[in-house]
Amino acid sequence: MNRVELELYLNDTLQTAQFRDYCPNGLQVEGRSEIKKIASGVTASLAFLEAARDWGADAVLVHHGYFWKNEDARITGMKRKRLGLLIGHDISLFAYHLPLDAHPELGNNAQLGKLLGFADDGGRFGPDQLGWLGAPAQPMTLAALAAHVETQLGRQPLMLGDPGRQVSRVAWCTGGAQGFFEAAIAAGADVYISGEVSEPTQHLAMESGVGYLAAGHHATERGGARALGEHVAERFGLEHRFFDMPNPA
């Protein structure tokens, strides 16, 4: 399909105009006009780009792209290598940050909730209503939920709070959204799941009595790019492959 056609479809599907983000959403690096093979991944790292290039991708689709607010604008070092690979092989880079977190079906939060078997009750909280609320398939302890998260994500989450606390209402927001913890507490959650953790998070969990699971920034955000890549591949007859580059963070 044509690159411009794909860009317009992605921008419309993810409603990019509704978000004030820390980076440009959409086409960040322009490559060849015809797209037959698209690779998806969490972050446009050099290792990911090399894997996509070797597979023969015409375009790559990621959650974490480039040109973040307040970053050094010079094209040197790591940035020069990444951009050099894309431009040198005529590969387009599509990147969607907050719009991919928020999409009600293909987004990171929707996909994490689906993977963990949470029933979405339609509750939302936090900036831009990015945080989700719902319930586990059945009430369980915080320790049991942590074990379930580990099984589904393939990595042990950091658990803060009373392991024996009963959990019937869950709040979650993928990635580096530990700052939404207080909003999750105010929304009535028994536990909040995100990707990262900060020093104050421990105190907030202990003093509020609400559990916290830091399940990994990368691990909690693998779903969105893959789901979006699969979606456009099926809709437009493209060949798609998701590259899950190992990342312990």
Instruction: Write out pLDDT tens, residues 194-245.
Output: 999 999 999 999 999 999 999 999 999 999 999 999 999 999 999 999 999 9
Residue 121 in marked binding region: no
CATH 3.40.1390.30 in the chain: give the residue spans: 3-97, 108-219
- For position 172, what pLDDT does the model report? 98
Q: How confident is the model at residue 84 (pLDDT cuts 50, 70, 90)?
A: very high
Nearest residue to 45 (alpha-carbon basis) of 15, 83, 74: 83
Give the residue-averaged pLDDT of 35-52: 98
The model's pTM: 0.96
137-170 pLDDT, tens digit each: 999 999 999 999 999 999 999 999 999 999 999 9
Residue 103 in marked binding region: no
Residue 89 in marked binding region: no
Q: How confident is the model at residue 12 (pLDDT cuts 50, 70, 90)?
A: very high
Q: Give 180's DSSP letter.
A: G
Give the residue-averaged pLDDT of 171-200: 98
- For position 18, what pLDDT does the model report? 93
Residue 63 in marked binding region: yes
- For position 39, what pLDDT does the model report? 98
- Choose the CATH number for 3-97 among 3.40.50.300, 3.30.420.40, 3.40.1390.30, 3.40.640.10: 3.40.1390.30
Residue 97 in marked binding region: no
- For position 62, what pLDDT does the model report? 98
For CA atoms 98, 40, 221, 199, give the dihedral sign.
negative
Write the CB contacts of 41 (distance below 8 Å, at least 6 apart in sequence): 48, 52, 60, 61, 62, 225, 242, 243, 244, 245
- For position 214, what pLDDT does the model report? 98
The domain made up of 108-219 has a fold known as 3.40.1390
Partner residues linked to 64 by β-bridges: 43
Q: How confident is the model at residue 122 (pLDDT cuts 50, 70, 90)?
A: very high
